[in-house]
Amino acid sequence: MKQLALDIAAPPAPTLDNFVSGRNLELLVALDAFVRGEGARFIYLWGDIGSGRSHLLHAVLAAVRAAGRTAQSFDAETAPGAPPDALIVADDVHKLDDVAQVALFDLYNRLRAGGGALLASGDVAPAQLTVREDLKTRLAAGLVYQLHALTDEEKAAALARHAEARGFALTKEVSDYLLHHTRRDLPSLLALLDALDRYSLASRRAVTVPLLRELLKQD
């Protein structure tokens, strides 16, 4: 039983397929084209913490590598050696220090000239970033998307669909408890729901709020 509780800490690897789009369908279409090397070569997305920015960047990075193409996360120290035709993902650009900002600016120019691509993210729109003006201009030059976090209603609907796919009906009481007493990002919620289903099967008890509380109390 304890192993079931430990499994809660291991949500599935991020992919574009397991990202629930909500109001972000247009962005997902653009990222799918980006992964295939079509459409825009430079995309900047922004949104609040928990909106899924890192999920999408990791998903794109994994998908491009799986397709056999060169892709890497931005790092100021290794940026000068990045191939000019590579696909680069740069998360949390609002946190970059002066040295990293210069490195990203220079890398952007090399990617543009060499046929590469850049997917970057931050917590605000390019105009509101507290970074170099020339870097702001570069980040705003491609496609820019605001990433809208899922509403509680959209999360509840995603949980209900996931439960149905696993062969059980999720009650509103259990759904509400998940949304208000556990981590609120969707990957964690889905991982917890999976653990709850396994715990229910192992204990031969229905999925209820008391069963969920019991699972959450385990070490």
**Euclidean distance between CA atoms 95 and 99, whole angstroms:** 11
Residue 9 has what pLDDT? Answer: 44
Domains of the chain: residue spans and CATH: 2-12+150-216 (1.10.8), 25-146 (3.40.50.300)
**With contact defined as beta carbons under 8 Å apart, do 43 and 145 qualify?**
yes
> Which pLDDT belongs to residue 48?
86
Residue at token pair 């796919």: 165
- Rounded CA separation 162/219 (Å): 25
pLDDT at position 116 is 97
Query: In the chain, which stretches have pLDDT less than 50?
Result: 1-2, 4-6, 8-9
Nearest alpha carbon to residue 70 among 91, 55, 84: 84
The beta strands (E) that lie in 70-204 are given as 71-73, 87-90, 117-122, 143-146
pLDDT value for 219: 53
H or E stretch covering 194: helix 186-203
d(CA 42, CA 141): 8
66-79: b (≥16 Cβ within 10 Å) or e = eeeeebbebebeeb
Confidence (pLDDT) at 11: 59
pLDDT at residue 183 in the model: 86
